[in-house]
Amino acid sequence: MSDPLDDDARFLRHVGPARGRDFARLGVRTIRDLLYAFPRDMSDRSSLHRIADCPEGEASTVLASAVAVSERSIPRRGGKGGRLKITTAELSDDSGKFLEVSWFNQPWLKGKMLRRRMLVHGKGHWRGARLVMDHPLYQIVPEEDAQAREAVGGFARVVPIYPCAGGLTQSIWRTIMTRTVELYLSGLEEPLPVEMVARLDLPGIGEAIRNLHFPGDAAAWRRARLRLAWDECLFFHLTLLAARRHALLDLPGRQFRIGPELDNRIRRLFPFRLTPGQDRAIREITRDMESPLPMQRLLQGDVGCGKTAVAAYALLAAVANRAQACIMAPTSLLARQHFDTFERILANSSNARVRMNILTGGMPAAERALVVERLANGGIDIVCATHSAIGGSVAFRDLGLVVIDEQHKFGVRQRYDLVRKGVRPDTLIMTATPIPRSLALSVYGDLDLSVIDTLPPGRKPVRTLLFPQSRREQAWEAVRNELRRGRQAFVVCPLVGEGEERLDVKSAEAVLEGAAKGKLAGFRLAQLNGRMARGEQERIMDDFRSGRIDALVSTIVVEVGVDVPNATVILVEQAERFGLAQLHQLRGRVGRGTEPGICILLSDAREGEAGARLAALLAHADGFAIAEADLAIRGPGEFVGARQHGWSGLRLVDPARDIDLLREAREEALRLLEVDPDLVRREHLFLRRELVRRYGKLWDRAAGL
């Protein structure tokens, strides 16, 4: 039986194809989506004031009579020619003060207003004894008493403000919502258990949706919003916890043994002393691996802090326990780099018998088939892979440890897809995108947290310079200086875009050509981009790493993880086109050795978000500070990386602000799943349906529905 709420919103009266497209841009496709279409804000017009009582600088609603109306015109600003008509009315009420209201370019108002009673709502400013409002919302009040009362009631109330798209005005929104709520609201099922609604004193779903669109007062609107935010938090945690529980945690996993002897053997392999931060992380990981419960640990640490060494420790410890281990990275470059790093580490070992391989999507089919076969029959101990490791054809004989590098590049589902290839393997997830601990716990509610807060000794801070395009010669000169001293350079260009963007984006090729003829003439240059064949990419990266290339002109493919300590300078073309986290990652490509690094940003942006990003990069060296700045500039949604993968389902909830709500919801989710792990009880029927609706496959598979 089909649910009318799942019908296409286009077929509603007043909607149709054009508005349907506008709605679709806002993610609204079905009637249900419409009911759940959140106003982005509300305007509280409910407090009627006498003119004399209107507070300075605040929005108020006034009911008064127009005692004089005038019109004048002034030249349009900005030299566009033509004139601007300004209509001004003087209103008075029994408070003895006057209110002056003006509108631009609404000349028809003039004839309508005189001697009529009007409702206006806007921000008032006192100019001596008179209150002034520019461009207020208004309504002319009918003469007849009953109609007048209705008009006042309709105007002086709380009005939700909907997001705009295309031709959707606020009044069209309201017309459509009136009809939708009237016809369909009663068909909406309450997803929360009745018991919970009562215990937490929440409005029911029908009441909440009604008050979201037609609130009686501001408090009702807020309560409605809170209820819907609560749903988001609860569903989010139920999904995370169910996924975790179903994949892993309800049963004990493998118990590794890492005694002092093994610990010593592994530590001796590193060519350096581990930093205190690395040490602590390793202790926490060891404890998890030795415990029968499967590890679910997030390792956070700024770019260059040495997360790879910690991963290597865990991988080797797993292999010493005769398990297979997999490290998954977002690019084949990085998978390859990990492979090389581990080989170097193992070269220090006297009895190295660790069998290691690479597995990437781009490798020759025959080679790949061989790796897949040997993973299945246990002929490989450690595999350094890309997301190709989660492909259907890949199976492990005995996967005991999963490490996910640069986890913000992957989604939760991909993580669980890999984890399921073992029997409750230990999982270590690494990221350089730092988030405050409290936020991490509420967003990655299914993970424990380790933080590396120290850098290897001898690191000097990277000097960050911002050059306008007019001084690009100087910027390139700085690059040349480093190359002359035997150092290497990264030059990063924005992605070669599709369509129109292609034209104004400097492609890596053009930049390379310019450099070869100009400032970098005589040096060995090469280009690297994501469109090259994998083998080609790897060959170039090898040449760069071993010093056969002086400067690498590339796209963002080098964003994360790439480690070439002899590279001391990175020049970023059109830096305004990159995100803050990306820029911080890019900057992290240099200053990884003992020589100080230089990061040169070429950009003319000084204002707006792009300007703010560049300023933040100049102001802060530390990843946590960068993350805070990013949070301030962009808001938390994208910043946690979850939204990017479209799975978090958090729309109303701001993970930074609503920490308490998220935490409470997590407790409730735990309690619910304890009582009814798969949510199969009758009282959870609508809850489960809603979860499937919102989280689709993730929940589907997680709860085995």
Binding site for Mg ion (CB under 5 A): 561
Closer residue to ligand ADP (CB): 274 or 466 = 274
Alpha carbons 464 and 485: distance in angstroms, whole number: 19
462 CB-near residues (< 8 Å, 6+ apart): 587, 588, 590, 591, 596, 597, 598, 599, 621
The DSSP secondary-structure symbol of 456 reads P
274 is a site residue for ligand ADP (CB under 6 A): yes
Among 71-79, 192-200, 560-568, 613-621, the segment contacting ligand ADP (CB under 6 A): 560-568
Number of other CB atoms surrounding residue 210 within 10 Å: 19
**Residue 368 interacting partner from Mg ion, ligand ADP, none (CB closer than 5 to 8 Å by kind):** none
**CB contact at 8 A, 425 and 419:** yes
563 is a site residue for ligand ADP (CB under 6 A): yes
Closer residue to Mg ion (CB): 561 or 655 = 561
Binding ligand ADP (rule: CB under 6 A), the pick from 37, 432, 512, 551 is: 432
What residues does 132 pair with on adjacent strands? 100, 125
Binding ligand ADP (rule: CB under 6 A), the pick from 307, 408, 487, 701 is: 307
Tell me the closest approach of the beta carbon of residue 615 to Mg ion, in angstroms.
27
Binding ligand ADP (rule: CB under 6 A), the pick from 5, 188, 205, 303 is: 303
Closer residue to ligand ADP (CB): 28 or 345 = 345
**Residue 272 interacting partner from ligand ADP, Mg ion, none (CB closer than 5 to 8 Å by kind):** ligand ADP
Binding ligand ADP (rule: CB under 6 A), the pick from 122, 191, 193, 304 is: 304
* SS3 of 592-639: CCCCCCEEEEECCCCCHHHHHHHHHHHHCCCHHHHHHHHHHHHCHHHH
309 is a site residue for ligand ADP (CB under 6 A): yes
Token pair for residue 529?
């981009």
Where does residue 591 rank: exposed (0-12), middle (13-18), buried (19+ CB within 10 A)? Answer: buried
Show contacts with ligand ADP in window 135-154 (CB under 6 A).
none
Binding ligand ADP (rule: CB under 6 A), the pick from 592, 666, 688, 701 is: 592
308 is a site residue for ligand ADP (CB under 6 A): yes
Closer residue to ligand ADP (CB): 162 or 313 = 313
Instruction: Tell me the backbone φ, ψ of residue 27, rounded to 5 degrees.
Output: 85, 10
Closer residue to ligand ADP (CB): 278 or 648 = 278
Binding ligand ADP (rule: CB under 6 A), the pick from 39, 301, 330, 636 is: 301
Q: How far apart are the first and last CA of the chain?
A: 19
305 is a site residue for ligand ADP (CB under 6 A): yes
Binding ligand ADP (rule: CB under 6 A), the pick from 456, 623, 637, 649 is: 456
**Residue 426 interacting partner from Mg ion, ligand ADP, none (CB closer than 5 to 8 Å by kind):** none
DSSP letter string, 185-233: GGG----S-HHHHHHTTPPPHHHHHHHHHS-SSHHHHHHHHHHHHHHHH
DSSP letter string, 388-401: GGGSTT---S-EEE
Query: For residue 295, which amino acid is it?
Result: M
Binding ligand ADP (rule: CB under 6 A), the pick from 142, 163, 565, 611 is: 565
**Residue 180 interacting partner from Mg ion, ligand ADP, none (CB closer than 5 to 8 Å by kind):** none
**CB contact at 8 A, 67 and 91:** yes
Closer residue to ligand ADP (CB): 39 or 456 = 456
Tell me the closest approach of the beta carbon of residue 677 to ligand ADP, in angstroms.
37
272 is a site residue for ligand ADP (CB under 6 A): yes
**Residue 386 interacting partner from Mg ion, ligand ADP, none (CB closer than 5 to 8 Å by kind):** none
Alpha carbons 112 and 105: distance in angstroms, whole number: 15
Tell me the closest approach of the beta carbon of residue 552 to ligand ADP, in angstroms.
17
What length is written for the chain? 705
Q: State the number of binding residues for ligand ADP (CB under 6 A).
A: 19
Among 143-151, 306-314, 318-326, 595-603, the segment contacting ligand ADP (CB under 6 A): 306-314
Where does residue 574 rank: exposed (0-12), middle (13-18), buried (19+ CB within 10 A)? Answer: buried
Tell me the closest approach of the beta carbon of residue 333 to ligand ADP, in angstroms.
13
Alpha carbons 521 and 91: distance in angstroms, whole number: 74
101 CB-near residues (< 8 Å, 6+ apart): 88, 89, 91, 120, 122, 132, 133, 134, 136, 138
Tell me the closest approach of the beta carbon of residue 618 to ligand ADP, in angstroms.
21
Closer residue to ligand ADP (CB): 334 or 629 = 334
Alpha carbons 637 and 78: distance in angstroms, whole number: 37
Query: For residue 395, which amino acid is it?
Result: A
DSSP-derived pairing of the beta strands 59-75 and 48-49: parallel
Among 24-32, 34-42, 110-118, 296-304, the segment contacting ligand ADP (CB under 6 A): 296-304
275 is a site residue for ligand ADP (CB under 6 A): yes
Closer residue to ligand ADP (CB): 394 or 599 = 599
Closer residue to ligand ADP (CB): 210 or 338 = 338
Tell me the closest approach of the beta carbon of residue 299 to ligand ADP, in angstroms.
9
Chain residues binding ligand ADP by CB under 6 A are 272-275, 278, 301, 303-309, 432, 456, 561, 563, 565, 592
